[in-house]
């Protein structure tokens, strides 16, 4: 019989993975803002890195990016993929992790989703339903 308690399955990221993701995010943002990646596409776009999600073992970093105005997202994503090896090396040099994480780039679509929800809430149908619901409760 074991003396320890059975652990509940993890529900979301751990503090460790959140901290590591933030450190990696800062490193990538610094590399991009200083123009250290020698790629014409990356040099001509302002790229925001709103979030980096780390796997529980810290071996995979999913980097969410958003080019300014959301323009040329696929082109910027392809340029980052081309320079993944360089970025991984720079992260390994700057961030104190046991392993340099494998990097996966994704477009951050949270702003698009928020805009879609905002448009839905402003739609006449939703306003009508909210007004009907409000009058029923009075």
Q: What is the pLDDT of residues 8-55, one digit of tens each?
A: 555 778 899 999 999 999 999 999 999 999 999 999 999 999 999 999
Q: What is the pLDDT of residues 55-70, one digit of tens each?
A: 999 999 999 999 987 7
Q: Which domains does the chain have, with CATH numbers?
A: 15-107 (3.30.300.20), 109-138 (no CATH)
Structural contact between residues 65 and 104, judged by C-beta atoms closer than 8 angstroms: no
Q: Would you state the pLDDT for residue 88?
A: 94
* Cβ-based burial of 107 (10 A; exposed 0-12, middle 13-18, buried ≥19): middle
Residue 2 pLDDT level (bands cut at 50, 70, 90): very low
With a pLDDT cut of 90, the percent of the chain lying above it is 56
């Amino acid at each position: 019989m074991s003396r320890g308690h059975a652990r509940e399955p993890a529900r979301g990221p751990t503090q460790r993975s959140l901290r590591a993701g933030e450190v990696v995010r800062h490193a990538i943002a610094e590399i991009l803002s200083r123009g250290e990646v020698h790629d014409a596409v990356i040099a001509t776009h302002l790229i925001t890195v709103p979030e980096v999600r780390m796997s529980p073992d810290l071996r995979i970093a999913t980097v969410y990016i958003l080019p300014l105005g959301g323009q040329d997202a696929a082109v910027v994503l392809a340029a980052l993929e081309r320079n993944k090896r360089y970025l991984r090396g720079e992260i390994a040099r700057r961030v104190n992790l046991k392993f340099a994480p494998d990097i996966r780039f994704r477009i951050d679509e949270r702003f698009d989703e928020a805009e879609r929800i905002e448009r839905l809430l402003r739609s006449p149908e939703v306003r009508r339903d909210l007004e009907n619901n409000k009058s029923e409760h009075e």
